Structure 1
Amino acid sequence: MVAIRALLFDLDGTLADTDPLHFEAFVAALEPHGIAIDHQFFKTAISGRSNEAICRDLFPNASSAEHDRFADDKEAAFRRASGGLTAIDGLHALLERARGLGARIGLVTNAPAANVRHVLDLLKLTGVFDPLVLGEELPRSKPDPLPYQTALAALGMQPGEALVFEDSLPGVQAAKAAGILTVGLTTTLSADALRQAGADATVADFLDPILPLLLTRGADALTLR
């Protein structure tokens, strides 16, 4: 049995259910461009991906400067609409339990830095996460494993010593490609979709009774599910 020494969290859809707000912001931002999206497109082609990758697919003939302007406007709209965000049930209690066990707590996200600061402030989590790895600051973002590999390197830990919480296909794929035990939150996708992407377990929130067992027993806890 390998003890879990670090918890690594995604931001959007994992710390808080932000995807409905992101969906509405994308719908409004894309309307002037004559592009309509539905929830299924959002789940499979937008959720969890970097703005760079999203804009490259949506606007293949636009310049990088135009991509940046679109993304900046869309993210500003998200921040204006997100004042009422609350943490996923059980998050703060799980963080306290992990700290009590001596585990490190990190954040690994494709979200832009301004959103990260904004959401952490709203959830009263500023200063909680170390390391804080932003995909936009790396050569490759999720679904590439580099962001999670970067977090492990910063912690000086092996993949088997960490536990990841993710909600999107790119996030789960990145964590599993890095060799890390991964829990999928069903805030946006179904449990089946997350498991097909590679999630080792799925939960609706951080109150699930499997989580304390995962903290103390690691992957061995999955045999008790």
Structure 2
Amino acid sequence: MTALTLLFDLDGTLVDTDALQLNAYNTLLARWNRSIDLDYYQRHVMGFPDDMIFSRLFPGMPATEYTKLASQKERLFRMQLGNRLTPTAGTQRILDFADRFGIRLAVVTNAPRKNATMMLNALELATRFDTLVIGSELTHSKPHPLPYTTALERLGGNADHAFAFEDSAAGVRSASSAGIFTFGISTALSEDRLREAGAQDVIRNFEDQRLWDRLTHQINAQHDATNR
């Protein structure tokens, strides 16, 4: 029987960075005397790849300019990061649980590798995951399922024996369309919006009892199947 795998988004899931991201975008947009509000950020930025984000923000701009703008935005974001970030409640608990039961772990993110590495280091979690999948390094990023199917392939996992954790509509669509049971993390979006995107369950953080009931059930089911 395939072992359980746990697949985590980063921004907004393992750590709440939405305010920092929104500020970085607005610092960039201020050059054009423009700004976006939280609702726009949640609907059109969270979880989406750079080409989709900047084509919406600058519809008349040549696509060749998007990479430069994205790089500037990421630099503005990194400038706000301290030496240590605070992980989402229950993160240490679920990672320790994974260690205890030999569960393989991945981070699956659309963040650039430099950002992702910096955040994981600031969270003191860089050594806790078996693989880091960067959507922009693949032929398709979220909301396409490829980042999640890639993570499963690297871990030797199976969608039927995996859980994903996502806070954005694009991320939920990516994981759920890969056939993975997906928990929506309600750090930014409502339960209705997360379920509409494809989340099978919605939790506030990694202390939620609904998560632990399902994890315990899955571990017990695998134990029973192994010992038949």
TM-score (norm 2): 0.90
Judge conservation of contact 2:166–2:184 (CA < 8 Å) in 1. Answer: yes
Judge conservation of contact 1:3–1:215 (CA < 8 Å) in 2. Answer: no
- The 1:220–1:24 alpha-carbon spacing in structure 2 relative to 1, beyond 3 Å, is farther
Given residue 57 of structure 1, which amino acid in structure 2 is its aligned partner? Answer: R
| 1:57 paired residue number | 56
What is the DSSP-based 3-state SS (H/G/I as helix, E as strand, rest coil) of the residue aligned with 1:165?
Answer: strand
| 1:156 paired residue number | 156
Identity, % of aligned pairs?
A: 42
| 2:226 paired residue number | none
What is the alpha-carbon distance in structure 2 between the residues aligned to residue 23 and residue 220 of structure 1? 42
Judge conservation of contact 1:184–1:191 (CA < 8 Å) in 2. Answer: yes
What is the DSSP-based 3-state SS (H/G/I as helix, E as strand, rest coil) of the residue aligned with 1:81?
Answer: coil
What is the DSSP-based 3-state SS (H/G/I as helix, E as strand, rest coil) of the residue aligned with 1:42?
Answer: helix
CA-to-partner distance for each residue in 1:113-168, whole Å, 9 max, x for gaps? 11101100000011222221110101111110011111111122221111000000
Given residue 89 of structure 1, which amino acid in structure 2 is its aligned partner? Answer: A
| 1:214 paired residue number | 214
- The 1:22–1:153 alpha-carbon spacing in structure 2 relative to 1, beyond 3 Å, is same
Q: Which runs of 5+ in 2 are unaligned?
A: 222-228
- Count of residues paired in the alignment: 220
Q: Report the aligned-residue RMSD.
A: 2.0
| 1:109 paired residue number | 109
What is the DSSP-based 3-state SS (H/G/I as helix, E as strand, rest coil) of the residue aligned with 2:152?
Answer: helix
CA-to-partner distance for each residue in 1:90-125, whole Å, 9 max, x for gaps? 101111011111100101110111110110000001
| 2:68 paired residue number | 69
Judge conservation of contact 2:3–2:157 (CA < 8 Å) in 1. Answer: no
More displaced 10-residue stretch of structure 1: 37-46 or 52-61 = 52-61
| 1:16 paired residue number | 15
Judge conservation of contact 1:4–1:215 (CA < 8 Å) in 2. Answer: no
| 2:122 paired residue number | 122
CA-to-partner distance for each residue in 1:147-203, whole Å, 9 max, x for gaps? 111111112222111100000000000111000001111111111111111111111
Judge conservation of contact 2:90–2:205 (CA < 8 Å) in 1. Answer: yes
- The 1:96–1:102 alpha-carbon spacing in structure 2 relative to 1, beyond 3 Å, is same
What is the alpha-carbon distance in structure 2 between the residues aligned to residue 218 and residue 183 of structure 1? 15
More displaced 10-residue stretch of structure 1: 61-70 or 136-145 = 61-70
What is the DSSP-based 3-state SS (H/G/I as helix, E as strand, rest coil) of the residue aligned with 1:164?
Answer: strand
Alpha-carbon deviation of 1:76? 1.1
Superposed, 1:1-225 pairs within 5 Å as 5-83=4-82, 85-218=85-218
What is the DSSP-based 3-state SS (H/G/I as helix, E as strand, rest coil) of the residue aligned with 2:79?
Answer: helix
What is the alpha-carbon distance in structure 1 between the residues aligned to residue 56 and residue 72 of structure 2? 17
More displaced 10-residue stretch of structure 1: 78-87 or 58-67 = 58-67
Judge conservation of contact 1:25–1:78 (CA < 8 Å) in 2. Answer: yes
Judge conservation of contact 1:90–1:207 (CA < 8 Å) in 2. Answer: yes
What is the alpha-carbon distance in structure 2 between the residues aligned to residue 57 and residue 127 of structure 1? 36
Given residue 186 of structure 1, which amino acid in structure 2 is its aligned partner? Answer: S
TM-score (norm 1): 0.91
- The 1:98–1:220 alpha-carbon spacing in structure 2 relative to 1, beyond 3 Å, is closer
CA-to-partner distance for each residue in 1:20-54, whole Å, 9 max, x for gaps? 11011111111112332111111000011112221
